[in-house]
């Protein structure tokens, strides 16, 4: 964390199914004392996703962090996706890492090709060029060759490809259990390990 008192994280939400993942991640960032600033960028399809899957429609999008976390969300700043002049669009601004959750195939393509055609894609491109952590929670199925090649291209540029795929080896009982484990693993990649994360300890061979 250097001389700063906490991490600065950017969260992007695009229009692939999985709004619960985004909400759970934001709530954990909100309550994490190691994080002092969170920038939230949501694409237009992402806003539709949040409305469709969570029933959350913000009359003023600047209030979206409060609606998603259920708190005052004082460390959050909502940035319009069209605002390509925002602080996080420049590598000189000290962001520690970024996660796109969920990451649609279209957003993946934009990032993989370095288009930077909106703030979400530009902020991701900045993370890549500055060698900062970028986690792409890709949500698409089945995958065609274009999707796979874009994942390889993003991986080669330095992104972490973290498909939004739930795990079952720890015995989850609810959807919230599945979401929590996945989100904990994403946060671990951002250097924010979570005590609640289940960690495999191995099995004794009989």
Whether residue 179 is predicted with pLDDT greater than 60 in this model: the reply is yes
Over residues 13-71, the pLDDT tens digits come to 999 999 999 999 999 999 999 999 999 999 999 999 999 999 999 999 999 999 999 99
Residue pLDDT, tens place only, 92-138: 999 999 999 999 999 999 999 999 999 999 999 999 999 999 999 99
For the entire predicted model, the pTM comes to: 0.94
Answer whether residue 159 is part of any domain. yes
Q: Which two tokens stand for residue 50?
A: 């949040």
Question: Residue 106: which CATH number?
Answer: 3.40.50.1950
Report pLDDT for 3: 47
Residue 206 has pLDDT above 90, yes or no: no
> What's the total number of domains in the chain?
1
In a domain, 162, yes or no: yes
Domain membership flag for residue 2: no
Residues 6+ apart with CB under 8 A from 158: 127, 128, 131, 134
Look up the domain containing 117 and give its range.
Answer: 10-189
Give the confidence band of 192 by pLDDT, cuts at 50, 70, 90. Answer: very high
The rounded distance, in Å, linking the Cα atoms of 117 and 202 is 45
| Backbone φ and ψ of 181, nearest 5° | -65, -45
Closest Cα partner for 24 from 199, 185, 170?
185
158 domain-assigned? yes
**Token pair of 57, please?**
């429609």
pLDDT of residue 155: 98
């Amino acid at each position: 964390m250097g001389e700063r008192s906490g991490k600065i994280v950017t969260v992007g939400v695009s229009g692939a199914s999985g709004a619960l993942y985004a909400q759970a991640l934001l709530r954990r960032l909100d309550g994490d004392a190691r994080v002092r600033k969170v920038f939230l960028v949501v694409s237009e399809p992402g806003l539709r996703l949040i409305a469709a899957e969570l029933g959350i429609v913000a009359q003023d999008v600047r209030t979206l962090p409060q609606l998603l976390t259920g708190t005052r969300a004082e460390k959050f700043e909502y940035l319009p996706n069209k605002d390509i002049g925002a602080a996080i669009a420049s590598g000189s601004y000290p962001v520690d890492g970024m996660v796109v959750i969920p990451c649609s195939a279209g957003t993946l393509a934009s990032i993989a090709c370095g288009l930077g055609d909106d703030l979400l894609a530009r902020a991701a491109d900045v993370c890549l060029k500055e060698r900062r952590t970028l986690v792409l929670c890709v949500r698409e199925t089945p995958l065609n060759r274009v999707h796979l090649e874009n994942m390889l291209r993003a991986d080669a540029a330095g992104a972490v490809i973290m498909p939004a795929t739930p795990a079952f080896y720890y015995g989850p009982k609810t959807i919230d259990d599945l979401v929590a484990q996945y989100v904990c693993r994403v946060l671990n990649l951002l250097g924010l390990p979570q005590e609640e994360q289940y960690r495999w300890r191995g099995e004794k061979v009989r």
